[in-house]
Structure 1
Amino acid sequence: MALQQKKALSKTSKVRPSTGNSASTPQSQCLPSEIEVKYKMAECYTMLKQDKDAIAILDGIPSRQRTPKINMMLANLYKKAGQERPSVTSYKEVLRQCPLALDAILGLLSLSVKGAEVASMTMNVIQTVPNLDWLSVWIKAYAFVHTGDNSRAINTICSLEKKSLLRDNVDLLGSLADLYFRAGDSKNSVLKFEQAQMLDPYLIKGMDVYGYLLAREGRLEDVENLGCRLFNISDQHAEPWVVSGCHSFYSKRYSRALYLGAKAIQLNSNSVQALLLKGAALRNMGRVQEAIIHFREAIRLAPCRLDCYEDPREPTQEAHKELSARYAVTQTLQ
């Protein structure tokens, strides 16, 4: 569709009006701008997993003509490609135009930009817009999240959750559930996931971890029901496949778990839970070297997650020692 629009735009741009005062034709009025067409083309490329082409298209738009959504897409694409500097620049440009863009704030924090620097970019709007006193605390909380300080992140988010404006906020509950999981508190993690999905029955984010925790507790019927519910919402996310994979794994159907884990990775190559699932299935099928590759990739993506190092399904004692040592180094550096 975007390509067709671009062709139509090219044709109409060559047609000159007979006089300078003549009104534009209805056809030209209906056409989107060239910049919008390029944005749509970039969207198509990302759906086709052709990120380099998407970046090339967006890079071709002059900086002054880039809208916040264009800069946001560029920032996410750069981040995915491991190009941190241009990603940070693009996220900052989004915040310059839209100081309340929470996704841009999270993007900067995930790229190790200091919380104080990010907060300074929102200070003017916090001081002028009423009822935004929570935002500086929110930034502080997620700065702790991205530095791996689980304890302070939990305490700060809990203080936010008590405020009337953010009480029963699904995103905060999901973040708390994930933090409790990282801290090894499975009981509170499951509790927060349950609260979040009760408030939002269509919630998908984080449900892969929730399914894994339920499976580990032996609640396989609940895992099966969760997987069915998620598939009814969407089969284009990794989470439903991971949840079903956990059910298969803990039912000792490792070949099935391997297939489901691979499908989840195909949909989201950065899914840590999918990598752990596939690695565990490979390990239990005797394919140790392949399993190690998947565990190491999970560690690369989530160096602060202890379960990537100490998962009881680790391939070999030697590999476990190596991965645990790497975790200790990571914690020391922080």
Structure 2
Amino acid sequence: MPKVALGLSLAGIHGDAASLADVARRAERSGYDSVWTGEAWGSDAFTPLAYVAAVTSRLRLGTAIAQMPARTPATTAMTVLTLQQLSQGRVLLGLGASGPQVVEGWHGVPYRPPVRMTREYLAVLRKALAATERLEFSGSVYTVPYTGPDSTGQGRPLRSTMPAAADTPILIAALGPKNVAMAVAEADGLLPYLWSPTRWSGAWGEALEKAPEGFQVAPTVLACVGDDLDDCRDQVRPRIALHIGGMGSRSRNFYASLVSRYGYADEASRIQDLYLGGDRAAACAAVPDELVDDLALVGPLTRIADQLATWRDSPITTLIVEPTDLAMVEPIASLW
């Protein structure tokens, strides 16, 4: 069985440089392969990684995720090229389309069909990272140089002045079947969220069967270590309820659709009804134990060790752990 790497999510550390440095150093000492940051409508994903790069020497630095609609492909390329040079090539670029509420409500740009947008974004990005030729692209979403009706007509193709980083691994956060199939065809890996190590095949299997050798699958998993199993479950229920119930609208919620494909359609519908109705406490309580146990690592270390065996048997290459308490960083690493 291929070796599975251990990653650590730095979610929850925002603007606290001392805590960020401490956790990064602890992760490196205890054997984590990588650390990962994300973004929604607060802290960005890249700035913390630049800081971590300065206080570590081995850890790989991943974004899970950086939002594509927040930056042009060229802006992402500039950021990655700079960070790759500063970190001596440790960057793993995770990208996601986000959702309409964030894209239009925070970034103020139109929400594009994610499959087409991502495919074009990757094409422009890879050309910019390669830095071997002037950047030119003509698509339905992106045109470089820009030639729209409000252009000046003075844009000209440019090539990056930074050293190339064409071998930067690019992973895509995809949940829907079409987007997953596109990620398998166009990217170097997949960043799933709410991955089920027991039911993944029904939701992801058909697309992943076509993945080339070396394709990466790096899910983020919530983890809570403690002797009281029920308390550990209760600590991760709010995050699961948030994604199923609140990360999207009734008509478009990728996470609710995913757990429905796992076989939890009735549960997902009830969680959404309660969450969107304003009763978040009831929505959390409606997340069943079975679903918590399927999507998260919870309970005493001995129990989590048994859970990890199931995760290792699924086709993942990196397990990104997101602990509810940073005191759990070393105990979880000890199981690895």
Q: TM-score, normalised on structure 1?
A: 0.30
Greater share of residues in strand: 2
Q: Which has the higher helix share?
A: 1
Q: Please identify the structure whose Cα radius of gyration is greater.
A: 1
